[in-house]
Structure 1
């Protein structure tokens, strides 16, 4: 990695961690397209899984008192059940068509969720939560983005923003580590080769971004944070689809 690419990577990590602290998600969705361009589809997503789990772990320390552990289990169990087999599948299939397809479906689901949110009806229940967990685990394994799907669920169920932002942190840790462990076991050679100080710098930028996000979050209310969630989810889905289409062409 050249010094310029390293500087851009570290800057992107800071911005992604800041978004994660403010909105509760966004780290993997903002970082994944950039790392995939540098390291390739499989190594890049593997790195996103690791850094995303670390970012979520750092934020979890700050918001753990708001975590709804019952909701976490309802989402995490089906997500992990899908994350493991689809992580293996992701290593065997070409990444570009998968990313393009996943991005398109996420955009469609997000658009539908925004329309449904404008109506008076709340859509929730065991089946809805299980479906959200299943699809989030699949998209995380295939494209490194599990956030848009849980964002859809948060919108249509009108999940309280503060509890949502807290609960998805251990959730992101779980699905990120599950996908990373599975891919590492199947093909350990996919890990990018980086120097020790590069790893330290990456983890340091996560802490810096979280610190900056902590300061910014004080001036943002729940309604604005929820709007940021939807915008970041759309950006993540769109960039995933665009990245897949570019690779296809």
Structure 2
């Protein structure tokens, strides 16, 4: 964990930036902030903090977009995620930190490259595709704070427009993050730390709202994926570095 004098400013900056990115592009908190939260407070608590932010951001977003939620389309996604969230939480609790960091870094880097490639998967269509995407998303959200990419891939293959995607992604994000927190519990942070987390989150959403109107969506997404790939590679590098003594020994 970072030294005490640097911990709070670093945490606040990560949360603020992640929330601003999420507000600007509709996705991105987990991709941008989760790897750095993991490096700052550890793989388990870092992921849970990303889950907490997902609940807050999705819940606030739904206040304005809930009429666009397609409940029938959401049922298989949410049901499949509910089944795999406990498995992801169990994996996160049982793996040693170096192995978990290596896995998180490799998974994030692979997901970003997959999203950048614009790949289409016919299997991710219909009810079967929704079940597969929900199962993968639930596991990844609980274990790594990265539930969004699998749902984004499903939405792209299902032909959803951006207007359709946003409210449904917020509805799904709210529920799957609640499931993930329930499976793992809240991190043991101090009250001032939680207060800073909340203030930084709110400030980030306000900043993102102001900047969104001036920034092309395409450029925003490029920045998100670049930062996410960098965070994934740094996390992977730290995990491999911590594994190295054991591998050499």
Q: TM-score range by the shorter chain?
A: 0.7 to 0.9
- State the match for 1:98 in structure 2: 103
Secondary structure, aligned partner of 1:30: helix
- State the match for 1:208 in structure 2: 203
Distance 2:208 2:158 in 1: 26
TM-score where L is the length of structure 1: 0.82
For residues 199-248 of structure 1, give each alpha carbon's deviation from its aligned partner in whole angstroms, at most 9, with x where no partner exists: 1221122122222222333456xxx5367457635643663354133222
Point out where structure 1 has 5 or more consecutive residues left out of the alignment.
Answer: none
TM-score where L is the length of structure 2: 0.82
Distance 1:147 1:235 in 2: 16
Distance 1:111 1:142, change over 3 A: same
For residues 104-139 of structure 1, give each alpha carbon's deviation from its aligned partner in whole angstroms, at most 9, with x where no partner exists: 542454255x1449xxx9963222222111111111
Distance 1:122 1:87 in 2: 26
Distance 1:91 1:236, change over 3 A: same
For residues 168-216 of structure 1, give each alpha carbon's deviation from its aligned partner in whole angstroms, at most 9, with x where no partner exists: 11211211121111112xxx7xx2332x232122112212222222233
Question: Aligned residue pairs: how many?
Answer: 236
Q: CA RMSD in A?
A: 2.7
For residues 130-179 of structure 1, give each alpha carbon's deviation from its aligned partner in whole angstroms, at most 9, with x where no partner exists: 21111111111221111121222233333111221221112112111211
Q: Within 5 Å, which residues of 2 pair with 1:1-249?
A: 2-94=4-96, 95-107=100-112, 109-111=114-116, 114-116=118-120, 124-184=125-185, 191-194=187-190, 196-219=191-214, 224-225=216-217, 228-229=220-221, 232=224, 235-236=227-228, 239-249=231-241
Distance 1:82 1:141, change over 3 A: same
For residues 53-104 of structure 1, give each alpha carbon's deviation from its aligned partner in whole angstroms, at most 9, with x where no partner exists: 1222122223223322223223211112111222112211231242144235
The answer to whether the 8 A contact 2:116-2:225 is kept is no
Distance 2:123 2:222 in 1: 17
Distance 1:82 1:91, change over 3 A: same
Point out where structure 2 has 5 or more consecutive residues left out of the alignment.
Answer: 242-249
- State the match for 2:245 in structure 1: none
Secondary structure, aligned partner of 2:27: coil
